[in-house]
Structure 1
């Protein structure tokens, strides 16, 4: 079963690479592409002097509506040149209402294509959009580099395997891509001898994938760098991977925001496409 409904969420004019990636995936999977254009109101009611809130709120809503209409017009102009099935919808929301709005659309999508939510070039609301798709929509999210997907996307895939429920969910959601890949490496970093797979980390997963016709192998790596994300990024470059599959937020989002974590590091620094789920 492939990805037949693909969603992408656009909130700024600088997300052209993300839209290109979504178009490429829709064509590759013979899927329908839903483009959701967002105008976001960032005003905080109650933070202004008495009587001003209503005026500020209306002005912010007007600007958000204009932004959404501009994004929708640009998306339609771009998609009219493509040979895929598509639809475009726009909406306006306050920042606090993004979770429900995006979660509902992601819930009925097979795949959500977004750009990197962290880093200097990330869209202002990228983190909120990504987390809404993952947590509320429970959808797999393909994070695309700003330049779009590489020409050989999906040929060599690396699975970041840490034996967690989130990692297993990501593998299952990535199965259409894994089955089409030329080779897949299950990368395990410093596995615990007391973990659920004990002396055979990645073995059961490799067997499962092989039975699906996936050309899978296992690489067990020692922890030779300060962080897991550095080891994974180095390994992906070393083997020439063009896609990383990994679980998202094995730790809480609050913990990762304060202390950092593999998810945030990979999304903020890695230049490769990442498919994640939880």
Structure 2
């Protein structure tokens, strides 16, 4: 029996990248996983298939987190499959924005809508579905604490807002034994970073140089941190910002 046997988890943006890695790990730990996706149904079904191939259970839910009423639409679908939630991972996000001299209002609004507004209202409408003793993990970024990539300023700002959300929400939900934390990856090898890592000569080496460990992270390594916070072992950690950058901020 896995450490999350009998639990239900929801991971937003779980069709690929870090979100998929988290969903697969929680599935291996025994949770029944709601795999959220925005557009790519085929990729979400691949995540479900991977979880099921490992002996786990999962289902897909679709919601465009950039659209009005997205949170209500997400929970309406979730309720068709489950009657409560134990682990919520807010992972979905827009990962890049243009520099301040180039970004327009529409792009700025879009990244804040998906990265900040959506998690806020997912929790607003989901708190009653979260069982006592549950877990909330918000996926932040090392860029919330360093100006090493200032051209990605608007994105980094959204992650700073998400960290405040985690801190304050931990006080709101703490009386019910629900923990709330931010996990901050550094540069992770996903399709979102493929251009940076594989699209130019020396890209991988430059990225690895940020890390004190001299490497580029994987989705599985971030998922391991999330899995700890979701487990009984993480019960006394809340309101925290967990550095999962491989020492990129040292």
Tell me the TM-score normalised to structure 1 length.
Answer: 0.39
When you count helix as a share of all residues, which structure comes out higher?
2
When you count strand as a share of all residues, which structure comes out higher?
1
Tell me the TM-score normalised to structure 2 length.
Answer: 0.43
